[in-house]
Amino acid sequence: MLVGYSLALILVACNQGARRNGMPAGAQAALDAAIADIDAGRYEKLYKEAADEWRRESTLDQSRATFATLQEKLGKVHVRNLQGVNEEQTGTAHSVFVTYQTSFDRGDAMETFTLVERGGRWQVARYYVTSTALK
């Protein structure tokens, strides 16, 4: 009996390794890539790899203009502190919502990413930034 219990603990520990901060590994990888693209100014790449929701709500030019405004008003990112990860599974959709408290050159902001999974592939569907420095 004790051997079976130990095996169960090992299996649970291995399965939890696939998640960081309560997020599926694929979602984490997609988020990390999106953040790297945003920070490096690779907005076209970000847009092309984004979920359909992003492209339905904004053109590439509109997305570039939004990022230019963010860059102009907030500057570069100094530190992102994870505030929360919420995962939602419905009958037809699997989503993850990630929020960061972020320090920029010219102010603090909340960044919120929405990721969706389709066909085993995670993509960024939305990206919001709220800050008093944007007014």
User: In this structure, what CATH number is given to the domain that contains residue 84?
Assistant: 3.10.450.100
Give residue 83's Cα distance to chain centre: 12
Structural domains counted in the chain:
1
Question: What single-letter amino acid sits at 35?
Answer: I
Residue 40's domain comprises 23-134
- Which of 109, 40, 34 shows the shortest CA–CA distance to 79? 109
Cα-based distances in Å from 15 to 10, 85, 122: 9, 18, 19
Is 43 inside any structural domain?
A: yes
41 and 114 Cβ atoms separated by less than 8 Å: no
**The residue to which tokens 């990721």 are assigned:** 115
Closest CA to 98 of 71, 127, 118, 75: 127
Q: What is the pLDDT of residue 20?
A: 53
pLDDT tens-digit readout, 22-56 = 799 999 999 999 999 999 999 999 999 999 999 99
Does residue 45 lie in a domain region?
Answer: yes
- pLDDT at position 135, please? 85
pLDDT for the residue numbered 21:
65
Q: Which of 97, 107, 101 is nearest to 127 (CA)?
A: 97
Confirm whether pTM is higher than 0.85.
no
